[in-house]
Structure 1
Amino acid sequence: MPSGEALPDSQVAIGVSSFAGQTRTNFTFQFSPRISVTFRYVGIQDWNSDGFGTYRDRSFDFRYLLIKEGRIAPAVTIGLQDFAGTGIYASEYIVATKTFDRPFRFGRSLKVTAGLGWGRLGTSSALGSPFGSNRPQFVPGDPGGEPAVDQWFRGPMAVFGGIEWQANERLGFKVEYATDAYLPETSRGVFARESNLNFGLEYQVRQAVRIGVYWLYGSEVGVNVHLQFNPKTPAAPYRLEGPRPVIVRPERLVNPAAYDTGWMAAHNAPIVIRNALRPELEQDQIVLLSVSVSATRAEARVSSDRFDNFAIVVGRTGRAMARILPPSIEIFDIVLVTNGLAVSKVTVSRRDLETLEFRPNASQVLLSRIVIADAAPAPTGNTSQVDSLYPHFSWAIGPYIRPSFFDPDEPVRADVGIAAVARYRFAPGWQLMGEVRHRVVGTIKNASRLSDSVLPRVRTDALLYVRAADTTLERLVLSKQWKPGKNTYARISVGYLEQMFGGVSAEFLWKPAASRLGLGIEVNYVKQRDFNQRFGFQDYEVATGHLSAYYDFGNGYFGQVDVGRYLAGDVGVTVSLERRFANGWRVGGFFTLTDVSSEEFGEGSFDKGISVTIPLSWFTGRPTRQSLSTTIRPVQRDGGARLNVSGRLYEQIRSGQLTDLSNDWGRVWQ
């Protein structure tokens, strides 16, 4: 039964439970202090009366904390269970929980919960139907996927509740009065339900791990393993060798000669400064691209493939400039560059670096005094560029894992192999990139369910791509990206753009460095690749494109809306909402609605899912820009499918602009 409590803000909870041949895996994310979402994957054995061996189902839950618990008031939550699935677990509830600290002479706390439930939570000991009795029943084989708004809080209502006693820091006991009659399961002989009472014992193994054993419905034993962690709290502390301190200039009154600007008369002054500054930055694996100087101001354009946090790049570049530049230079302009794109200019007073370094709250004080603005596409004035950076060739070889989820015959499959990636950057903004993969072992090709789609099979033939060859050319792309203006960006990519499509992709983005809003347009003309993923193509070709709006809501919440034409020729809109953390964690959800009907789309009715990105530095504590990303879809169909082109502009530039810099500015002194 649900409770009225919410998890700590941004908490991630993963639970696996089993009883009576039913296994449930839940992924819950506390998206905000009041909102949490859950994705559930279920397997029910012995569902034989409908032709299933093991019936598998995917669903989503939504909870909103109406009232936070206070000294007198309980925590009150309203929730929707299985609101966008087949409806097998569909229910709605309003529930309250109150915690009493040390109500007895022994034990830590007692929690009392009571609630009203509809749907599955109203199928036992119902009190009536106060908001209407018209509620359709679950039908096995229904493709589901659409929110059944017309049945929310309809049908019989029942009162459920429970008590939880925490004996000590690790051990807890529970008893609950449960009002889910399990009608679909008991009618098919999955198990016999004999009581409304459930009893449980839970033990906190460590801070992140809890296990539980339960006596359920008077007839079954259940077990549960629960893992919780928070993206804000890294698995390993961030470790970084200490920066060299700022060198403080002599006071002007004490040594006025030090502030003489005669050094500017030398024609090679920028070159001398460049040659001195470059090795200083290289010690921190920061690449100096150019230096522009005047008598009192200097600009350094820098990039880094090491640091996942640009605030660190700003801080270390500023320190290096303070060590090298003549005392007369008062203002530092640090231009952050990513893949040849100047994404922002951070203007810092040298005097602030000298006086704030060891002050309390130095980071926030410095943030209040800097200026983050748009950067010109190229340096101007008395400039010296580093010409030895191009051409540049890099490569890497390592293992890869390609997972596949939710096949009804085998819920988790995966391929494991070796991937080789090479990049040749022959001029600023120009790149030739290729990736070859060789599958060593894998089970994805053992799947037996081929596509039944009535739409062009732009994604549902994925199994045929996997079966066709062990060695594949994943991508081979020639790309050019540049800045047409101070707050605009452009990209063109040509080649084998992804696993299933090749062609040409072009993108234009307007995104001022200090603006919450970004606007973009992307157009693609692509052709479907041969299943063996070599150099051939199939007959299917399509023009796609989207108008996109990106918005920063503040506090790490980002939204994106894409309107346009998808790979199957359907037209519609994708809405995404994401929570981003300063350390690089990202968790979000999305849905796509197009002019394809739910019947044409097939199982799931429309495209939707959850995306998760985890920075490797969260595990290792070492700075790196590498991360692990996955997208969890209940089912992959052809409707609403978008091209998976790499190098989209917004994701490249956002980390060096105002919001991301400000969110993790505390590391500027590291």
Structure 2
Amino acid sequence: MSRPSKPFFLISSAALIAGLSAGPAAAGPEGTAWGYNSFGVPGLIDMPGAFGREDGELGYAVSHVQNQTRHALTFQISERLSASFRYSLLHDIRRNPGGPVEPYRYDRSFSLQYRFLEEGTYRPAFAIGVNDLVGTGIYGGEYVVASKTFSPQLRATLGLGWGRLGSHGGFTNPLGVLKPAFKYRPFAESGPGGGFQAKTWFRGDAAFFGGVEWRPNDRWRLVAEYSSDDYAREDGAAFKRKSPLNFGADYHYSDRTTFSARYLYGSELGLQFTYALNPKQPRMGSGLDAAPPPVVPRAGSAGPSPDLDEGALIAATRSALEKEGLTLHGLARDGDTLRIQIGNDRYPIAAQATGRAARALTGLAPAHIERFEIRLTEKGMPVSSVLLRRADLEALEFHPVASDLMRARTRIADAPTSLAPNGGYFPAFTAGLDPYVTPSFFDPDSPLRIDGGVAASARFEPTAGLVFSARLHQKLVGNMDRTIRPSTSVLPHVRSDGYLYAKGSDTSLTELTGAWYVRPGRDLYGRVTVGLLEQMYGGVSSELLWKPQNSRLALGAEVNWTKQRAFDDMFGFRDYDVATGHLSAYYQFDGGFMGQIDVGRYLAGDTGATVTLAREFDNGWKIGAFATLTNVSSEDFGEGSFDKGISLTIPIDWITGKPERRAINTTIRPVQRDGGARLAVPGRLYETVRGQQASALDASWGRFWK
């Protein structure tokens, strides 16, 4: 143990004097960090701060200092909570202080920070955090930190750290007064890595850290920092640590892009690039949608008028809907009510599809029609019934609060039955040719692997609810077929031989299925899928979902029998089959958060549960994290200890500004192993139907008039 050095007190004293002279916090970016540190955490240079970034922000930071490159993906989960996934390329690193030097290592880790006290007029903000929450422990450290904004230009930070953050200038842990065990930090067991090391948290010596941030203008940030990290694993190997002082300058090239240069530990230069975006802020503003059709008021008397010929009305409605990217599945008249059943392959927001269909009907329906019922479908299944009055459409189109008034006068209910399929849509055949990209991020052997090529797809729907699909990939470029170390898993190789599928053939039949979607009862949805279900498995999958219109809760059950496909990704199979299945519960929390629990049997025959927490935005963005624990021990699972990762869904229309229902879906895993591996069946019911239900329509009803 040693006392904090004089430079620390110099920085702390300077910050205190500047703060006292500046007085209470002035107007500025209240509660928002001014930058990311080199570990991707909102903060100073190497040290964290107490402020988070803007709610919902997703930031990517890549930093480099001698023999270390760190990639970090950070999500501001809420105004107070942020999480980071970090992938580091390390050369000449010691696994443990004083141990032998390893020539290189790829290290993966998660961090979590929570601001438990907001900044006040005179009170700083306080946050608590854990670095390397789930990882190898190389960056293991915990902290409590306070930050205070003294003016729009000046901010100071003071913190207390443990682990790596308590390794320079350390002193006896003050938490030892609560329990003597806090005075000693147990050795972190490496094992297969990727596990929780909770017994080490906030234990051992503690040390102070701190710094000052100054923004002379909106473009620049200058930082001086006292670091409590002694870099014992790197000192004398990767570089020589000569001083605890760090100095840095950030240049904000734009609202999203920042370049940083640092002078670190009295011996090294460091660089960092940061890019941040917020899913709440579309790149194209309100979008590049074509103007919707106008509402056509009824001319003359509102009394009955002669009916149009049924066939002519169907043809005119089908043509009008096709101009809006919608398809007519069925049409029926019932007195003064006109009912239509539609499919939507264009608009990611169901409320927008509903509004466009309603507008189109005003120019087609006979004058005596007073109400429109629009039934929304997915995979040919009726999902929701939207009943609205024609007079409201005519009266409210240009009203300043048209959306609110229209929703108040509209009824949204379940649509358990279909209209007669007389819209001329079935049988339907579509085909396309598109580029594809298949990435793999941050695996143990390579930061990035990616294949790209051309995908041919086809879909045939002979009748409502029956869908035949095929997708063929032709690889043109990529390195997904490269591997450094073949799988050594003691479990059946249900996922760890994935590279062999990329190696087997450049032409892959990734999907060839027949699926039947059905409504077996009120609030119930069913699916049966047969064929080549995904790249690695074929078989039979069945699912039943209970999802009421306005319920936050949904329950599902899935049963599968599946057989492993041959490595050439065509029609052959290997000698491995397994029955799997899960019971699932889904719950929508406030603020766009969604939780999911799946309990059952996985592809390797192991049993357990997967917990998923995600945040969803009204525009279709979705960022989540998941973890799976089964009866497979961490030793048998291998590197990573258990399956976990991050999932991203990026709607294409957010990028292009044009209506588009497709999205980019990717999963980032620290490592892909065999334990906790689940079948990837296309068209699972929860994601299929919920976007067309009342809860989703309510959340995005503002798009009704767009």
Pick from 634, 644, 659: which aligns with 1:608? 644
Query: 2:83 is matched by which residue type in structure 1?
Result: V
* More deviation, 630-639/530-539: 530-539
Match of 1:231 in 2: 279
Corresponding residue number in structure 1 for 2:531: 495
**Deviation digits for residues 147-202 of structure 1 (CA, Å, limit 9, x no counterpart):** 22222211111111110000111011100111011112226x11111111111111
- CA distance in 2 between counterparts of 1:644 and 1:392 reads 26
Distance 1:613 1:384 in 2: 33
Distance 2:421 2:238 in 1: 76
Local SS of the residue matching 1:273: helix
Match of 1:572 in 2: 608
Distance 1:34 1:100 in 2: 20
SS in 2 for 1:591: strand
Is 1:654 aligned with 2:690?
A: yes
Name the structure 1 match of 2:82: 36
State the AA in 2 paired with 1:548. S
**Given the alignment of the two structures, is residue 119 of structure 1 paired with residue 167 of structure 2, yes or no?**
no
Contact 1:413 1:443 in 2 (8 A): yes
Return the match for 1:75 from 125, 131, 138: 125
Quick one: structure 1 residues 127 and 364, their matched pair in 2 at CA, closer, same or farther if it must change by over 3 Å?
Answer: farther
Asked if the contact 1:44–1:55 (Cα under 8 Å) also holds between the matched residues in 2, the reply is: yes
What does residue 452 of structure 1 align with? Answer: 488
Q: CA deviation at 1:203?
A: 0.6
Partner of 1:214: 262
Helix, strand or coil at the partner of 2:664: strand
Aligned-partner Cα distance in 2 for 1:220–1:554: 46
Aligned residues of 1:551 and 1:558 also touching (Cα < 8 A) = yes
Closer, same or farther in 2 for the Cα pair 1:179/1:431, shift >3 Å? Answer: same
CA shift, 1:276, in A, is 3.0
Say whether the 8 Å CA contact 1:524–1:545 is kept in structure 2: yes
Segments of structure 1 that go 5 or more residues without pairing to the other structure are 102-107
Question: 1:628 aligned to 2:664?
Answer: yes
Paired position in structure 2 for 1:104: none
Task: Determine if the alignment matches structure 1 residue 93 to structure 2 residue 155.
Answer: no
Q: How big is the shift at 1:414?
A: 1.6
Query: Which of residues 295, 318, 342 is equivalent to 2:358?
Result: 318
Secondary structure of 1:314's match? helix
Code of the aligned partner of 2:81 = I
Paired with 2:484 and 2:73, the residues of 1 have a C-alpha distance of 27
Aligned pair 1:304/2:344, yes or no?
yes
Question: In the aligned structure 1, how far is the partner of 2:390 from the partner of 2:202?
Answer: 62
In structure 2, relative to structure 1, the CA distance for the partners of 1:245 and 1:407 (3 Å cut) is closer
Match of 2:298 in 1: 249
- Structure-1 separation of matches of 2:437 and 2:362: 45
1:407 shift after superposition = 4.0
| Structure 1 residue 643 displacement after superposition | 0.2
Q: Which AA in structure 2 matches 1:646? A: P
Q: Which amino acid aligns with 1:574?
A: T
Question: Higher mean Cα deviation, 464-473 or 207-216?
Answer: 464-473
Q: CA deviation at 1:357?
A: 1.5
Distance 1:395 1:13, change over 3 A: same
Identity %: 45
Deviations 1:83-138 (A, max 9, x none): 1111111111111111122xxxxxx5101111111111111111212231232345
- Offset of residue 269 of structure 1: 5.6
SS in 2 for 1:53: strand
Residue among 416, 419, 428 paired with 1:392 = 428
Tell whether 2:362 aligns with 1:329. no
Match of 2:393 in 1: 353
Q: Equivalents in 1 of 2:318, 2:629: separation in Å? A: 51
Instruction: Return the offset for 1:12.
Output: 0.7
Q: AA paired with 2:481?
A: K
Contact 1:407 1:447 in 2 (8 A): no
Confirm or deny: 8 A CA contact 1:530 1:537 kept in the other structure. yes
RMSD over equivalenced CA pairs, Å: 1.8
Q: CA deviation at 1:333?
A: 1.5
1:86 maps to amino acid:
T
1:170 is aligned, of 211, 219, 223, to 219
Distance between the aligned counterparts of 1:360 and 1:70, measured in 2? 38
Q: CA deviation at 1:418?
A: 2.0
CA contact (8 A) 2:187 2:200 kept: no
Task: Return the letter of the residue paired with 1:531.
Answer: F
Deviation at 1:633, TM superposition (A): 0.3
**Cα distance change on mapping 1:613 and 1:427 into 2, 3 Å:** same
Residue-pair matches, total? 649
TM-score by length of 2: 0.89
Q: CA deviation at 1:51?
A: 7.1
Task: Verify the 8 A CA contact 1:372 1:514 in the aligned structure 2.
Answer: no
| Structure 2 counterpart of 1:550, one-letter code | Y
Deviation at 1:50, TM superposition (A): 4.8
Q: Aligned partner of 2:162: which letter? A: W
Check whether the contact 1:377–1:485 (CA below 8 A) recurs between aligned residues: no
Confirm or deny that 1:27 pairs with 2:68: no
3-state DSSP of counterpart to 1:319: helix
Report the AA paired with residue 8 of structure 1.
E
CA distance in 1, matches of 2:486, 2:101: 19
The separation in 2 between residues aligned to 1:221 and 1:367, in whole angstroms, is 58
Corresponding residue of 1:281: 321
Query: Structure 2 vs 1, CA of residues 612 and 525 (structure 1 numbering), >3 Å: closer, same or farther?
Result: same
Q: Is the 8 A contact 2:92 2:234 kept in 1?
A: no
Instruction: State the partner residue of 1:105.
Output: none
**Residue type of the partner of 1:362?**
A
Choose from 496, 516, 530 the match for 1:480.
Answer: 516
TM alignment of 1:556-571, pairs within 5 A: 556-571=592-607
CA distance in 2, matches of 1:566, 1:384: 39
Q: Call closer, same or farther: CA 1:53–1:416 in 2, change over 3 Å.
A: farther
Q: For 1:523-602, what aligned pairs fall within 5 Å after superposition?
A: 523-602=559-638
**1:231-269 deviations in Å (ceiling 9; x for gaps):** 01112231112122222336xxxx65x322x74xx6x76
Which secondary structure does the structure 1 equivalent of 2:474 belong to?
A: strand
Is 2:443–2:672's contact at 8 Å kept on the other side of the alignment? no
Query: SS state of the match for residue 15, structure 1?
Result: strand
Give per-residue Cα distances to partners, 1:354-391, cap 9 Å, x unaligned.
22221112212222332221112212xxx6721x3222
TM-score normalised according to structure 1 size: 0.94
- State the distance in 2 between where 1:50 and 1:535 align: 50
Deviation at 1:540, TM superposition (A): 1.0
Q: Look up the equivalent residue of 2:242 and give its one-letter code.
A: E
- State the alpha-carbon separation in 2 of the partners of residues 29 and 405 from structure 1: 17
Aligned partner (choices 161, 164, 179) of residue 228 of structure 2: 179
Which segments of 5 or more consecutive residues in structure 2 lack a partner in the other structure? 1-46, 176-181
The answer to whether residue 176 in structure 2 is matched with residue 128 in structure 1 is no
Task: Give the Cα separation in 2 of the matches to 1:324 and 1:15.
Answer: 54
2:701 aligns with one of 652, 665, 668 = 665
Query: 1-side partners of 2:409 and 2:113: how far apart?
Result: 41
Provide the rounded CA distance (Å) in 2 between the counterparts of 1:338 and 1:84.
39
SS at match of 2:571: coil
Looking at structure 1, the residues matched to 129 and 694 of structure 2 have their Cα atoms a distance apart, in angstroms, of: 36
Shift of 1:514: 1.7
Do the aligned residues in 2 keep the contact of 1:112 with 1:164 (CA within 8 Å)?
Answer: yes
C-alpha distance in structure 2 between counterparts of 1:596 and 1:409, whole Å: 24
| Separation (CA, whole Å) in 1 of partners of 2:470 and 2:421 | 32
Please state whether the residue corresponding to 2:183 is helix, strand or coil.
coil
User: C-alpha deviations, 1:509-531, integer Å up to 9, x for none?
Assistant: 11112211111110000111111
The one-letter code matched in structure 2 to 1:336 is: L
For residues 455 and 626 of structure 1, the distance between their equivalents in structure 2, rounded to whole angstroms, comes to: 35
Query: C-alpha distance in 1, partners of 2:74/2:473?
Result: 33
